[in-house]
Amino acid sequence: MLQNNPALIHLKNTLRSHTEYVEGIVKKNEKGFGFLEVNTQKSYFIPPQCMKKVMHGDRVVAVIQNHVQNDKERKVAHPEKIIQPFLTRFIGQVQKKNKKIFIIPDQPMLKQAIPCNISKNITQSTLQEGDWAVAEMHHHPLNGNHIFCAEITEFITTNTNNFAPWWVTLARYNLARTDPELETPQKMLDEQLVRHDLTETPFITIDSAHTEDIDDALYIEDIGNGRLQLIVAIADPTAYISIDSMIDEVASERSFTNYLPGLHISMLPRQLSNNLCSLRPQKKRPVLACRVIIASNGVPDTNVQFFAAWITSRCQLVYNHVSDWLEDNQKSHWQPPDVIIAQQLTLLNRLCITRNQWRQKNALLCKGRPEFRFLLGKKGEVLDIISEPRRVANHIIEEAMILANTCAARLLRDKFGFGIYNVHLGFDQTHAAKAVAMLANYGISTDSITITTLDGFRILRRQLDSQPTQFLSSRIRRFQLLSELKTTPGPHFGLGLEVYATWTSPIRKYGDMVNHRLLKAIIKGEDGICPTDTLTLKISERRRQHRMAEREVNDWLYLRFFQKIVGSLKKFNAEVIDISRGGVRIRLQENGAVAFIPSSFIHHIRKELICSHDHGVVKIKNIVLYRVTDIIEVTIEAIRMDTRSIIARPVPSCYFL
């Protein structure tokens, strides 16, 4: 009766119109209460009883009420509506309690046990305490349910499995855990494509010692007047894979070969990637090739030729062996197998130097860090971490591939105006203005219009690279846009190039397979099929997932490695890579591990300490102690398995003792 009372309805509507609603993200505190973060400047307190209805990370709408406590008034958020739950599909560990099944999400801020149902395809006896599983959240208190409730949909692995880091991480990002099990075509497609016979040309490959999916081979010759002619031959999986085949569909879905420590999961069936298409020595293989002439000043000739061919690689060389010989052939234990190979390496080194000098003046160079390789035992234990700096042989291959990719990008742009392009636009206008303001504080004058042009960006990067430290380069990076995959051509500011598209790793990257097909269409004089934006978005998302998966497995393995080092007082040199209010993130130079130094470890009097993310500095009593890119000495204090984090302590500076 009262339910339809007009006066009551009017009163409710009046009250509702005066009620303040806000939308934000829930941030949980370890003490049980939380905050609704509306933006970086504004948040509201959430009482403990209200936190029982939400999770850390939930995006909700809350009603804001005034609460008076101890004669002080404060605005308090009461969540009422869920907009986007933090957990939908998630990974966790099984907990059994009183014959009931719970799952504890594998999230640093979520340690509550969520009651679970079990999917029909899983028997309850399969699940044991601590086992890893995939679950989906089915009930949320803000959707009218009394409690959170999930359903376990997939068993991943047992808690005792030494290889849990790999299987859990792959499941988290929904990535394939095995190579494609598909019937591999043994015969090539009839592509109506003429292949030049280059089987007598002494091509060579340079890779890591254990590489099986070899996708590039090089041949170079001196043609006089300081000019070099380079042929880059690339493995041709599209010679076996039709665009409408199951293999192509699976490759499109996977997008990349997944390289994890001690494990790589192929994009293509191994019979193709490691055998029929791999440019193994002394094996006749189909390739797509690029012939380009480079002048003595490093400028490539505009008459670049793309063509299909047959090659037989003369030999498979190893990065470190080639580097040893080129850097000091008198002391090198390894020698080229014959005079022809020695000449090839000498000419390739000359090409690398020439192109490197050209890029320094006309494009940009990337200063890469050493790569770190985990040496693993049979049970997944970390025996050692090996630093592998990029040496001369690595730079030879890098320069050759950048040159070949640039040539392909220009050809695709001029013939079709589409393809799979790597595009990096540097800054947008908003971030450019912030970058200009920051640089002005350090005496570097520029403007937001100039640095959003390719020439202006090149000038800025060279100016920053000439600084005595990399501090400003590090600070400017946070304003830069990320690179993207696009179907239309655009500049790549990071490389300093007008256009860039990769085609040199088709065994490992689906986007390169797409560009192969477009290059073949040009060779045959046919029209190309423009790839869709949906495809580039899918490939981009896969790339992001692969990078996150690699980082997560690395973090897990670093924890295993440092278990035996915690408390040993062994000192490490570390680079400061980020500073936040809570402390400092560092990267150990010896092995690449990322660790965190809490602010309480830096200085015990909090009011005297300033940790500024915006300025990239740590100050004590207004004196700069650390800056981003500084090298400091630390010891390992602890490892925290629940957050996959390493806690370090700085070796005290004598100034502040």
pLDDT digits (tens, 9 = 90+) for 278-330: 999 999 999 999 999 999 999 999 999 999 999 999 999 999 999 999 999 88
Q: Are β-strands 114-118 and 149-157 bridged in parallel, bridged antiparallel, or unpaired?
A: parallel
Cα–Cα distance for residue pair 174/545, rounded to 1 Å: 9
The domains spanning 90-161 and 566-656 adopt the same CATH topology: yes
* DSSP state for residue 187 in the 8-state scheme: S
The kind and range of the H/E element at 159 are none
The two structure tokens encoding residue 127: 């699940």
- pTM to 2 decimal places: 0.91
- Residue 572 phi/psi, 5° resolution? -125, 145
Q: How far is CA 508 from CA 212, 243, 315, 588, in A?
A: 12, 16, 21, 30
Which DSSP string do the residues of 111-133 spell out, in sequence order? -PPEEEEE-TTS-GGG--TT-EE
Pick from 125, 128, 137: which is nearest to 96 by CA?
128
Check if 213 is active-site: yes
Active-site pick, 215, 236, 248, 512: 215
Other CB atoms within 10 Å distance of the CB of residue 466: 7
Helix, strand, coil percentages for the chain (3-state, nearest 5): 30, 35, 35
What is the pLDDT, as a whole number, of residue 655? Answer: 44
Cα–Cα distance for residue pair 535/420, rounded to 1 Å: 9
What is the pLDDT, as a whole number, of residue 567? Answer: 83
What is the pLDDT, as a whole number, of residue 29? Answer: 85
What is the pLDDT, as a whole number, of residue 7? Answer: 60
Other CB atoms within 10 Å distance of the CB of residue 584: 27
Active-site pick, 131, 216, 324, 630: 216
Residues 6+ apart with CB under 8 A from 309: 195, 196, 197, 198, 233, 286, 287, 288, 289
Q: Are β-strands 382-388 and 263-265 bridged in parallel, bridged antiparallel, or unpaired?
A: unpaired
Check if 508 is active-site: yes
CATH topology of domain 17-84: OB fold (Dihydrolipoamide Acetyltransferase, E2P) (2.40.50)
Rg, C-alpha atoms of the chain: 29
What is the pLDDT, as a whole number, of residue 70? Answer: 58
Check if 197 is active-site: no
- Taking 50 as the pLDDT cut, the residues of the chain under it are 1, 11, 14-15, 17, 654-657
Instruction: Give the bridge partners for 404, in sequence order.
Output: none
Active-site pick, 508, 517, 542, 585: 508
Q: Are β-strands 204-207 and 195-198 bridged in parallel, bridged antiparallel, or unpaired?
A: unpaired
Q: How far is CA 476 from CA 138, 469, 611, in A?
A: 43, 13, 18
Residues 6+ apart with CB under 8 A from 605: none
What is the pLDDT, as a whole number, of residue 91? Answer: 97
What is the pLDDT, as a whole number, of residue 409? Answer: 98
Active-site pick, 44, 219, 240, 319: 319
Quick: pLDDT tens for 256-267: 999 999 999 999
The yes or no reply on domain 90-161 and CATH 2.40.50.640 is: yes
- The CATH homologous superfamily for domain 566-656 is Nucleic acid-binding proteins (2.40.50.140)
Check if 216 is active-site: yes
Check if 558 is active-site: no
Cα–Cα distance for residue pair 170/327, rounded to 1 Å: 40
Domain ranges across the chain:
17-84, 90-161, 195-421+497-552, 425-481, 566-656
Residues 6+ apart with CB under 8 A from 177: 167, 170, 171, 265
The two structure tokens encoding residue 644: 């996959």
Active-site pick, 58, 207, 248, 324: 207
Active-site pick, 58, 131, 213, 236: 213
Pick from 258, 259, 163: which is nearest to 560 by CA?
163
Amino acid letter at 572? Answer: F
* DSSP state for residue 482 in the 8-state scheme: P
Check if 428 is active-site: no
